Chain A
Amino acid sequence: MRITVRFFAILKDRAGTSETTLELASGSTVASALESLSKRFPDLQRDCNRIAFAVNRSYVKPDQVLRDGDELALIPPVSGG
């Protein structure tokens, strides 16, 4: 299955892109997606080890199972306002 990954703020800088796609085995979780992303973008978690996750624009836990076509967002600590 294929998912879209979106990066924001410092994670976008670390990845060097705002968006990518990821091919995963069916049944893969958010945590396993992050593992694949960290291999592709070795600097991703430098200076930022508190990443939250959203799937289709809602926060989820790392054990969330992904489905084909999902939009996974990596959310660094927010600082709006």
Chain B
Amino acid sequence: VGTSDWIEVSAQPLRVDRAVEFVTDPRAGGIDVFLGTTREEKASDGSELVALDYEAYAQMALEQLRALAQRAREKWPIIKLAILHRVGRVELGEPSVIIAVSTPHRADAFDACRFLIDELKVDVAIWKKEIWADGSASWIHPSS
């Protein structure tokens, strides 16, 4: 593992070109990249979402993401992977998370990438708050 995984929780804007560059490798036949981005929303009272504000229990989230990367490596022949999550305010259209995976063949890259984002959402210690145009803010409560 080591230098083959780039796992970070950061307040800096995420750079997809850097993630792709990191996982690029001559042994790879496929690179799959997922970006999670802030989507516009309109509440029932007409107010509009302007941003999401992310908070993390960084030390725990990093340990969880490293364990998640290890689980993916046990399932697919991953050459390199990057899992980058933003904290702080993320404007509409901007990425809050980037996952990039390189594998020898494309099917594994798609599957591993999907596994990583789906599992990240299950229990990694990160939260988002909705920031509305009127200045109000509300923590998301997943219903499941």
| A residues neighboring B (CB under 8 Å) | 6, 8-10, 12-13, 47-48, 52, 54, 57-59, 73, 75-81
Q: Is the CB of A80 within 8 A of B139?
A: no
Q: Is the CB of B96 within 8 A of A8?
A: no
Closest to A77 in B: B142
A6 to B59, CA, bound (A): 12
Give the residues in chain A near B63, CB-CB below 8 Å: 57-58
Interface of B is mostly: mixed
Name 13 extra pairs, CB < 8 A, besides A54-B60, A73-B60, A81-B96: A9-B139, A54-B57, A57-B59, A58-B63, A77-B141, A78-B122, A78-B125, A78-B142, A79-B126, A79-B139, A80-B56, A81-B36, A81-B126
Q: Is the CB of A80 within 8 A of B120?
A: yes
Give the residues in chain B near A79, CB-CB below 8 Å: 121, 126-128, 139-142
Q: Is the CB of A9 within 8 A of B121?
A: no
Q: Is the CB of B57 within 8 A of A80?
A: no
B54 at the interface (CB under 8 A from A): yes
Closest to B97 in A: A81
B123 at the interface (CB under 8 A from A): yes
Q: Is the CB of B129 within 8 A of A80?
A: no
Nearest-neighbour CB distance to chain A for B69, whole angstroms, equals 15
Residue among A59, A73, A76, A80 having the largest count of chain B Cβ atoms under 10 Å:
A80
Nearest-neighbour CB distance to chain A for B89, whole angstroms, equals 15
B55 at the interface (CB under 8 A from A): yes
Q: Is the CB of B127 within 8 A of A81?
A: no
Q: Is the CB of B121 within 8 A of A80?
A: yes
B7 at the interface (CB under 8 A from A): no
B72 at the interface (CB under 8 A from A): no
Give the residues in chain B near A52, CB-CB below 8 Å: 123
Residue among A8, A48, A78 having the largest count of chain B Cβ atoms under 10 Å:
A78
Nearest-neighbour CB distance to chain B for A79, whole angstroms, equals 4
A6 to B57, CA, bound (A): 9
Q: Is the CB of B142 within 8 A of A9?
A: no
Give the residues in chain A near B97, CB-CB below 8 Å: 80-81
